[in-house]
Amino acid sequence: MSRVHDALRRAEQMMSAASEAAGAAAQLPQAGPESELAPAAGFIERLDEVPFRPAPEALLIDLARPHDPPSEEFRSLRTRLNHLQNLQPLHSVVVTSPSPAEGKSFVAANLAIAQGQLSGNYTLLADFDLRRPVIHSLFQIPRAPGITDYLLGNAPLEAVIKRVAGMNLCLMPAGSLVKNPLELINLRQVRVLLREFPRIFNWVILDSPPLLFSADANLLGTMADGTILVVRIGQTTIDTVVRAMQSLCENNVIGVVVNGARAGELYSKYTYYYSSYGYREREEEATEVATAEGAADSAGQGAASPGA
């Protein structure tokens, strides 16, 4: 039995023992939120906790300002994905882009934060961009131990996942540098992880390399339930989008996120609505909101709208 099976089995055994000690019924309900979240509670409680301390240049959504347009956009994306989840089995999503610097890591991180704000909605953000990872930089946590350390047998699963304080979000950084990331992603353990993680997490969001520069995202797309393609206004060309979609073949592309809208294009959508409820109007900015994702990506905060 693989290490991931062992870890998940131990989480279930802990919850079973606690239930028996409290005099609970011998058989847990087969449906309902308590039975689904019980294994998650045991596993997640054993994870090390880290504070939510995003890097200033990361431009992650501000939890203290939930009515800012970028926060609204990512909540809209979250709502659409959660609706899709009600229509089809959808728990693991690869977030990628045709080329670098189009904002895939920015979108993956903010989508994970938005999902992790919902009660009981356990969400894992995993950095599978093993070539140029940035998730650890965005959240200011150590890069290792991480995914590569677990896959190489150098760290247990519980040691490579961190729980973010104050929300239902967990982070799985890329880990130590490796020379053969594609071969590592192709290991059977990765498929087992993505198959078993839904027993713990309602959403597993995978940041991956750009489609047209490596085969990593295509391989991950065959293992996950869906793929989100991120494009950037004024940078992504029609040709690169067509080539990216062709490279995905029959993988389940569940949506496209359009990134890099100017601030005024977003603010105009919400100014009237919120000002009518007593919120102060924000002055429209002429400059483009941008994010720097380490050495890998830089992307603007923009409208997030998944396609069919």
DSSP string, 113-180: HHHHTSTT--EEEEE---SS--HHHHHT--S-SSHHHHHTTSS-GGGS-EEETTSSEEEE---S--S-
Tokens of 269: 């959508």
pLDDT at 172: 98
Q: What amino acid is encoded at 33 in this protein?
A: P
pLDDT at 39: 54
**Residue-by-residue pLDDT tens, the chain, 308 positions:** 445 445 545 545 554 444 443 333 323 233 333 333 345 668 899 999 999 999 999 989 988 888 888 899 999 999 999 999 999 999 999 999 999 999 999 999 999 999 999 999 999 999 999 999 999 999 999 999 999 999 999 999 999 999 999 999 999 999 999 999 999 999 999 999 999 999 999 999 999 999 999 999 999 999 999 999 999 999 999 999 999 999 887 668 999 999 987 766 555 554 444 444 444 434 444 333 333 334 334 434 444 444 43
CATH superfamily of 69-280+289-299: P-loop containing nucleotide triphosphate hydrolases (3.40.50.300)
Residues whose CB is less than 8 angstroms from the CB of residue 201 and which lie 6 or more positions away in sequence, other chains included: 40, 91, 122, 123, 124, 170
Q: What amino acid is encoded at 106 in this protein?
A: F
pTM: 0.75
Strand ranges inside the chain, DSSP E: 48-50, 92-96, 123-127, 162-164, 169-172, 203-207, 226-232, 253-259, 291-293, 297-299
Instruction: Please answer whether residues 248 and 96 qualify as being in contact, where contact means their C-beta atoms are separated by less than 8 angstroms.
Output: no
pLDDT at 260: 87
pLDDT at 1: 44
First to last CA, the chain: 38
pLDDT at 30: 32
Instruction: Please answer whether residues 221 and 248 qualify as being in contact, where contact means their C-beta atoms are separated by less than 8 angstroms.
Output: yes
Give the alpha-carbon dihedral of 274, 234, 289, 229, to 10 degrees. Answer: 80
**In the chain, what's the furthest Cα-to-Cα distance?**
63
